Chain A
Amino acid sequence: MNSKLLPHTYQKIGWFLLLPAFVAGVFFLFKSNFVDGPEMKTFGYFGDELLGVQKKAAIRIDDIQVIPNVISVLFLIGGLFVMFSKEKKEDEYINQIRLKSFQYSVFLNYILLFFCILFIHGIPFFHVMVYNLFTIIVIYILRFQYLIYKNSINE
């Protein structure tokens, strides 16, 4: 059906990356103050200094926090592998479930964001922004797995 999906093996690799990254990510968000922790130098766009005291080039080599970056990268790679790999036996019904789950996750994601914007303010909203980086992937996977599960028992 859909030849643009990755082979089924990628799904296992995806879960292997996604689950530890998810646990580590949740743990990090609750336990970390986002400031302490190992840093490393990397190249990229850093923008201007927050208070404009020290003028540096916007694109430069500078320090970044290692842990949140590694967790995010692993989470995204794992999440994308799980989302975009074939089921053991992929057919048009699975494909329809896939598309419905995409629609559901994008819709629910923005409904949640809508209420977060209305009711969460200040520093806690920073957490909302961090969660929101990953919610489409999480909601999609939960919805897709639920529909597949429901379909396999509800007969």
Chain B
Amino acid sequence: MNNKIKVERAVNNLTQEQLAEMVSVTRQTINAIELKKFVPSTVLALKICKVFNKSVEEVFSLEDTD
């Protein structure tokens, strides 16, 4: 699954640490999602999108392999 968290963070001027705190996870979790090492739960995906004020499809998208 692809995601644009890094881009959205830059747009919103947030560090990994700040975003992590806003959605109550560790910074490592945000990092792992950005590196595509971890696919977040639906709940966490929705929380992240809420921070960016975007819909889920705008931030997360399927890959061909999914």
Contact = CB atoms under 8 A, between A and B. Distances in A.
**Interface size classification for chain A:** under 10
A96 B25 CA distance: 13
Interface residues of B, number: 13
B32 A151 contact: yes
A92 B44 contact: yes
B31 A92 contact: no
Contacts of B13: none
Nearest to A89: B26
B29 to A, nearest CB: 4
Interface of A: 89, 91-94, 96, 151-152, 155
5 contacts: A92-B40, A92-B44, A93-B28, A94-B29, A96-B38
B28 A92 contact: no
Given A151-B32, A155-B31, A94 B26 contact: yes
A45 B27 CA distance: 51
Contacts of B65: none
Nearest to B44: A92
A92 B44 CA distance: 9
Interface string B9-40: 00000000000000011101101110100101
A108 B20 CA distance: 34
Given A91-B29, A93-B33, A152-B28, 7 more contacts: A89-B26, A92-B25, A92-B29, A92-B44, A93-B25, A93-B28, A155-B35
A36 B62 CA distance: 65
Nearest to B23: A91
A91 B44 CA distance: 10
Nearest to A151: B28
